[in-house]
Copies of this chain bind each other. A is one copy, B any other.
């Protein structure tokens, strides 16, 4: 199955590429290495949720936020690759940033939302190394942010 077919089977659509809120680019390639900028759970540039895990945001909501964040990363990657996500050879590293109220320590469960989606969409190529950490605050009050390092052809 192509990535496009997998997206369809999962009922997922790549969003419009998020416009950077500052002076940087959504994706930067050198040789086969591609770095995707940090993304938050935005739709059309607007956050769909605000708050912290362990306070306003449940683990389930955080997982949905992680999915939306990584989908925004994939949209940026697809735009960089002329729409062809089959050119992704491997996701090498996902860093998952979770805005965490004091005492919230289940960052892995939240970021798993992003990890599962990557493998669902990209198959074997979506398997990645990962770090999940708990932040004091994230841009705009986002509960989650995700960035990626990938290998592409």
Contact = CB atoms under 8 A, between A and B. Distances in A.
A90 B97 CA distance: 25
B37 A133 contact: no
Given A30-B32, A137-B103, A131 B37 contact: yes
Interface in A70-126: 89-95, 97, 99-100, 102-109, 111-112, 115-116, 119
Given A22-B115, A37-B131, A129-B24, A136 B138 contact: no
A103 to B, nearest CB: 7
B128 A24 contact: yes
B131 A38 contact: yes
A151 interface: yes
A57 interface: no
A22 B127 contact: no
Interface of A: 20-28, 30-33, 35-38, 54, 89-95, 97, 99-100, 102-109, 111-112, 115-116, 119, 127-142, 145, 147, 149, 151
